[in-house]
Amino acid sequence: MYVCLCGGVTDNEIKEQVELGAESVSDLQKTLPIGLCCGTCDVVAEQFIKSFLPGAKDISYAA
Ligand code: FES
């Protein structure tokens, strides 16, 4: 799913970067165009980062 609509960044791309060592939105911004326009994705991006860190619980979204 898209996390950042402005930059077209998906949760899978965030997961890949967390697996490579990203721990914050600013870390993601080194390789992904996330949070660089309207910034409304920052909070959700942080939640995804936390969910993908080792030992984190999965976050789920209700439809
Ligand atoms: S949705 Fe991510 S910067 Fe706008």
Q: What is the pLDDT of residues 2-61, one digit of tens each?
A: 999 999 999 999 999 999 999 999 999 999 999 999 999 999 999 999 999 987 766 655
- Homologous superfamily in CATH for domain 2-52: BFD-like [2Fe-2S]-binding domain (1.10.10.1100)
Distance between Cα 44 and ligand 1 center (Å): 10
Quote the CA–CA distance of 13 and 55 in Å, as a whole number.
19
* Predicted pLDDT of residue 30: 98
pLDDT for residue 57: 67
Q: How far apart are the first and last CA of the chain?
A: 13
* H/E run at residue 9: strand 9-10
Global pTM value? 0.86
Instruction: Name the residue of 9, 10, 26, 41 to mutate for ligand 1: max ligand atoms within 8 A of Cβ.
Output: 41
Q: What is the DSSP letter of 37?
A: S
